[in-house]
Structure 1
Amino acid sequence: MSAETLKEIRGGVSETLAVGLGLIPLGLAFGLLMVQTGFAWWWTPIFSIVIYAGSMEYLAIGMVTAGIGPFSALVAGFMVNFRHIFYGLTFPRHTINSGTGRVYSTYALTDESYAIVSARPPGKISGTRVLTIQILCQALWVIPGIIGALVGQVLPDDLKGMDFALTALFVVLAWEAFKNNKDYSLPLFAVVLALVAGFVAPEQMLVIALTTYFVILLCRVRFPNLDKKLEIRTKHE
């Protein structure tokens, strides 16, 4: 291994730790929640390796335990992770020389790895550093998850509160997103759609609400003038 490669690996580790350390408590909570929900501990690494999509893994627990069908799970997974399509358009996979490395990079693309990589100027990052960042991000998610699952086996079965981890995660993500874009119409649409879908079709509430919300967002992007007209009208009222 060349000195340049080692330098890039160390640089990738250094850049990842600041963000990646935040994955540890989430991974621990995920492992605990898996065991507390009734799964064997070894299902935790299976979920984290096969799915490896953070919030979608939490969501998958509820889907599996509720017996949601594969089509509904597919649609929900697509909606939750749709943003990754746009991530892939600018993620520097072309800097990775190995075909196997590029395949892994596609699989391991997450919010955290994208945020770390995109913080560097375009063209100023090597394939070695990209892979180091992604591998370390996954390790900081999978390993704490296993530890949390093993610890969860010795905790009392009636321990309460871990099932709230998913709700807390989404509340934090929603609040952070709202702080970056204080558009009150977005959470309003989300709440109304969830209530309507829950009343009309409670068993398919998530899929219906997410699909409708996705269509609304597409319309807003496609017809930006409509947003401006609504904003002007609201101000006048």
Structure 2
Amino acid sequence: MPIPTPVVDDLVRPVDPQPVALPSAPAAPPPPAPDPASERPPAVAALKDSASVGLALVPLGLAFGVLVTQADLAWWWATAFTAFIYAGSLEFLLIGLVAAVVPLATVALTAFLVNIRHVFYALSFPLHRVKGRAARAYSTFALTDEAFALATSERARSWSGRRTVFLQLYMHLYWVGGATLGGLLGSLVPEGVTGLDFALTALFTVLALDAVRDRLDDLPTPALALLSAVIARVLFPSQMMLAACSLFAIALTARHFAGRHFTGRHLAGRHLAGRRASDAARSRRA
């Protein structure tokens, strides 16, 4: 009986491989979404940054303009004060000084004592990002409490110098515009209205609360500031601002050096403990 010969094609036909499921690589995390504010031009981004404080500066400027007219000064004094002095609390003090025609030396001394806190502002204000002599000069001139609070916040670390300067410019315009409008409309406000000068204190309170909220991990700093203010109010009531700023600066400096001393001792202790452990291990091997 003949043996059937196998078909060659059946012997050499390749077997279809079964699909093997390969382990899938983990999906790459999506790239972080870009900050919309960083993609805008600096002038547009700064306009949004200044809106919150600027909306508070306008009614504050209105109050200042009204106080100027109630002190029997012409309305344009409000524009001149805010445009060329631009010192916030000092401008409120100048109303009474100018109305009383005090000597220029007294005005200069008052300005020095009230604005000496700006010396401490310059230590952490990001002026090094501002390019150009004119821009740096204006940024120094427009360094107010509000601008300092915004430009040194956590979210402002990536701001460019142009964005910072535009922020200061917008806040300056808010202040000048509000004061000019208040000076023009001041005659319409009855003289019996009181409390307008408290607007500045209210704005500073809001800025202080925002600063504390942004730095909840650094509560000793506002505690030192409050303690300095209380001590200055009790011991130096006539020079409270200067005394409080000086005490606060001394307290921060002492805390800085105390922290460095503690850190140095801690590192030295760890180094000594490491050497002792190394010597002990070496003696056991011997």
TM-score above 0.5, yes or no: yes
Helix, strand or coil: the match of 2:236? helix
Give the Cα–Cα distance (whole angstroms) in 1 for the partners of residues 179 and 70 of structure 2: 13
Question: Comparing both structures, which one devotes a greater share of its residues to helix?
Answer: 1
Going from structure 1 to structure 2, the CA distance change for 1:99 and 1:112 (only over 3 Å counts) comes to same
Q: Given that residues 228 and 247 in structure 2 are in contact (C-alpha distance below 8 angstroms), is that contact kept between their aligned partners in structure 1? A: no
TM-score by length of 1: 0.72
C-alpha contact 2:142 2:168 (8 A) present in aligned 1: yes
CA distance in structure 1 between the aligned counterparts of 2:79 and 2:130, rounded to whole angstroms: 26
The 8 Å contact of residues 56 and 203 in structure 2, kept in 1 or not, is answered as: no
Contact 2:131 2:161 in 1 (8 A): yes
Compute the displacement of 1:102 (Å): 1.0
Q: Which residue of 2 aligns with 1:135?
A: 169
Secondary structure of 1:165's aligned partner = coil
- Displacement after TM superposition at 1:160 (Å): 1.3
Deviations 1:36-73 (A, max 9, x none): 11110011110112210111111111222233333332
Determine if contact 2:83/2:176 at 8 Å carries over to the other structure: yes
5+ residue gaps in structure 1?
Answer: 195-205, 225-237
**Same amino acid, percent of matched pairs:** 32
Task: Mark the CA change 1:221 to 1:68 in structure 2 (over 3 Å): closer, same or farther.
Answer: farther
Please tell me whether residue 80 in structure 1 is matched to residue 114 in structure 2: yes
The structure with more radius of gyration: 2
1:166 is aligned, of 188, 192, 197, to 197
Quote how far apart the aligned CAs of 1:30 are. Answer: 0.4
Once the 2 structures are TM-superposed, how far is the Cα of residue 17 of structure 1 from its aligned partner? 0.6
Gaps of 5+ in 2: 1-37, 213-221, 256-286
Cα distance in 1, alignment partners of residues 150 and 245 from structure 2: 27
How many pairs does the alignment contain? 206
Among candidates 103, 106, 116, match of residue 150 of structure 2: 116
Is it true that 1:99 corresponds to 2:133 in the alignment?
yes
How far apart are the structure 2 equivalents of 1:168 and 1:154?
19
Q: Deviations over 1:61-114 (max 9, x none)?
A: 122223333333222222222221122222222322221111111101111111
Q: Partner letter of residue 171 of structure 2?
A: C
Cα RMSD after superposing both structures: 3.2
CA deviation vs aligned residue, 1:125-169 (integer Å, no higher than 9, x gap): 21220111010000111101111111113445xx2134x433563
Residue 53 of structure 1 aligns with an amino acid whose one-letter code is A
Is 1:23–1:140's contact at 8 Å kept on the other side of the alignment? yes
- Name which of structure 1's ranges 86-95 and 12-21 shifts more when overlaid on structure 2: 86-95
Moved more, 54-63 or 132-141: 54-63
Which residue matches 1:187? 230
CA distance 1:122–1:173, shift in 2 (3 Å): closer
Contact 1:55–1:166 (8 Å) recurs in 2: no
Q: Distance in 2 between matches of 1:189 and 1:40?
A: 36
Partner of 1:65: 99
| Bigger relative contact order (CA 8 A; separation at least 6) | 1
Equivalent residue for 1:27, pick from 57, 61, 68: 61
The structural deviation recorded for 1:123 is: 5.7
Query: Do residues 44 (structure 1) and 87 (structure 2) align?
Result: no
TM-score, length of structure 2 as denominator length: 0.61
Amino acid at match of 2:223: N
Does structure 2 conserve the Cα–Cα contact (< 8 Å) formed by 1:20 and 1:112?
no
